[in-house]
Amino acid sequence: MKINLLKISFTITILGILLLLFITNLTTSKQISINQITNQYLNKQIKINATITQIQNKPSFQIITLTDSTGKIQAILPLTSNNLSINQNIILIGTLTQYKNSFQIQTNKIIQQTQTLEQPYHQH
């Protein structure tokens, strides 16, 4: 009886974990343009397709400035050998946060692309 109960508990636990993994993979981030970023996305995962226009290396992280045809935003990512470069077009997935009254993205994933934007956004 104890062995059957243990097997049932173990099976339910594994099924629960698999269900959570499945749900996590199904929930995709909403891709938005930079000018659509508002407080409604604060602390939520978003996806941005933009060009890297600046890279700042700090002691333990990097700050990259991303620009699309609608605006620009900074993203924070760990210092890694990610081979990012200026004018590189990427898709960045991360959590929108606020630092010193400005939005920024805490990076979760970067998908590198080869194409670049011809005319980056310039604020007037």
- 31-84 confidence digits (pLDDT tens): 888 999 989 889 988 999 999 999 998 888 999 999 999 999 999 998 775 688
Residue 106's identity, in one-letter code, is Q
Contacts of 103 (CB under 8 A, 6+ apart): 37, 42, 73, 96, 97
- Report the CATH superfamily, name and number, of domain 30-112: Nucleic acid-binding proteins (2.40.50.140)
Domains of the chain by residue range? 30-112
Q: Which residue has the higher pLDDT, 27 or 121?
A: 27
The pLDDT confidence band at residue 120, using thresholds 50, 70 and 90, is very low
The pLDDT confidence band at residue 121, using thresholds 50, 70 and 90, is very low
104-122 mean pLDDT: 66
Picking from 84, 66, 83, 74, the residue whose alpha carbon sits closest to that of residue 120 is 66
**Does residue 119 carry a pLDDT above 50?**
no
Q: Which residue has the higher pLDDT, 22 or 20?
A: 20
Q: Which residue has the higher pLDDT, 58 or 116?
A: 58
pLDDT for position 74: 95
Provide the CA 51 distance to its chain's centre, in angstroms: 14
Predicted TM-score (pTM) of this structure: 0.67
Cα distance between residue 73 and residue 34, in whole Å: 7
